A and B are shown apart, each in its own frame.
Chain A
Amino acid sequence: MTSAPALEHPLRTTVSDQLEMPPPVVAPESLSVTFNEVGRAFGGRTVLRNVTMTVTPGEVVAILGASGCGKSTLLRAVGGLDSGFTGSLLIGDSAVTRYDERTAVGFQEPRLLPWRSIRKNIELGLPKDLSKSEGQSRVDELLELVGLSDRAHLRPREISGGMAQRASLARALARQPGVLLLDEPFGALDALTRLKMQDLLLDVHAKTGTTVLLVTHDVNEALQLADRILLLGRHESDPVEGAAVKALVSVPGTRPRDRAATDLAPLRAELYAGLGVDSR
């Protein structure tokens, strides 16, 4: 298990090379996440156990694993949506609190309020103490960032699934989270839209520098986006039930990575094998 590469600097420099960069929309006060022996059982059935790792501020970590292995459960614990876990979980230097304000969640479904316009839905994510004018200008910037400025007045049912996920991402960013939690945010999208969303996420990360925990079941998505990949699962030899950390690997190279690159092939094969899939 290698330590996280110092990824922030290469990213920042590539970004500042380009002219007329807008100021960061999200104050890049990114926070670390420390898992210490985190586990979770539901009614006596252990789902997760012994998850120990530290996510450094500004890092993008993909959580990869088979369906039902506890990826969402782990993410929900970080967001303070679930208090039934064992072990300790820190964000920055202090423990996770209920519905932790330092995090923001992008759910697998957009979960937009159907009776509100896209703009009003994004406003939902604004911190309570923000002044109205500040809030408005932040929402304007976010609409611009996710490319929905001209759709801001529409209702969720009037836009496509990809747009709804972008709105959901903007709502999460409106909070200026220290840690952005994304639970298979692109899982329900078609392949092409998914690639575009991945590029958007990289763009967002470059501009905000926020820590990102991204749950996915897509090996290529993890390789494309992450600095490190946390593979959850259960070794066949394990006598006890529940998924644990099967591997924690650093992805070589810097983003944006070439999707057609072949140098990631061995890692890809390794990850597929870890998921119990033959990559050939």
Chain B
Amino acid sequence: MTTTLAAQAAAPGRAKSLPGGRILLGAAVPVFIIGLWWLVTGPLDLFTPTQLPAPQSVLDAGVGLFEGGALFAHVGISVQRVLLGFLFGAGVGLLLGSLLGLSRIADGLLHPTVGAFRAVPSLAWVPLILLWVGIGEDGKVLLIAIGAFFPVFTSVHSALRHVDPHLVEAGRAFGYHGTRLLTTVQLPAVVPPVFSGLRLALAQSWLFLVAAELLASSEGLGFLLIESQNNGRVDRLLLAIVLLAILGKITDTLLGFIERKALKTWA
């Protein structure tokens, strides 16, 4: 017990002294890469601007798009599609995963079917979605939702299946059953694995966004990628990639923040 408590007491102290140092440490390699990039494009002049533009011109491209209002439009619509698709897909994944995870009958009835759908690589649905739904907003959001659905479904389903039977029995022994047992024992027990599933689903959502926008779109970051490629605007192309990285990181950090709050209460 002493060791547990000592370790726990020591941990916050260590964590407190680290963040500044961690950020510096984590920034070292990106700073080095940008420095190298600047060196080979500027002073050393090894590449033509169409091969690899200087960091400064990528920044200029961003400022240019921002001033025309296009940057905001591209980022806005992409974020909207990801959020809608993620919420929709994750929501259905949570519902269906809970249903199949808790009910043996629903599991026996539906799991083989869901399993068969999961076996299809999600991008294989694209032609069918194009035909049936079209690749307007609905089609794109649907594709992203498919990408977000499976990680959430799988994590909820298997986590509910594997809740420690000892804890469930203890709950039952103390008179809990039905919804009370669900909210007291089963749901809290699956919070950590479900959040891993949600974070995976968010990453999948960005992946499927780019796929959808590359296929057919007139705005969004995927459109910016493909348009810049067609126009030979490597500066804008790099800008789009950097923006995708930043947005992906921001949304993941937000979800991670919610996860930490939830784990504080439930884990």
Residues of A within 8 A of B (CB): 79, 81, 99, 101, 104-105, 107, 109, 111, 113-115, 124-125, 127-128, 157-160, 163, 171, 175
Contacts and interface: CB of A to CB of B under 8 A. Distances in A.
Interface of B: 1, 4-5, 8, 166-167, 169-177, 184-185, 188-189, 191, 265-267
B166 A115 contact: no
A125 B167 contact: no
A111 B167 contact: yes
B10 to A, nearest CB: 14
B174 A163 contact: no
A111 B166 contact: yes
Nearest to A171: B174
A160 to B, nearest CB: 4
B167 A113 contact: yes
A234 to B, nearest CB: 28
Contacts of A115: 188-189, 191, 265-267
A158 B4 contact: yes
B175 A107 contact: no
Given A124-B184, A158-B8, A159-B1, A101 B175 contact: yes
A114 B4 CA distance: 15
20 contacts: A79-B173, A81-B173, A99-B172, A99-B173, A104-B174, A105-B170, A111-B167, A111-B169, A113-B184, A115-B189, A115-B191, A115-B267, A124-B184, A125-B174, A128-B175, A157-B4, A158-B4, A160-B1, A163-B1, A175-B174
B179 to A, nearest CB: 13
Nearest to A126: B174
Nearest to B188: A115
A157 B5 CA distance: 10
3 shortest interchain CB distances as A-B pairs? A160-B1, A111-B170, A115-B266
A158 B167 contact: no
Nearest to B267: A115
B169 A158 contact: no
A128 B184 CA distance: 14
Contacts of B171: 124
A104 B172 CA distance: 11
Given A105-B170, A115-B188, A125-B174, 6 more contacts: A99-B177, A111-B170, A113-B184, A115-B189, A124-B176, A158-B5
A113 B185 contact: yes
B173 A105 contact: yes
B173 to A, nearest CB: 5
A78 B171 CA distance: 17
B35 to A, nearest CB: 45
Contacts of A113: 167, 184-185, 188
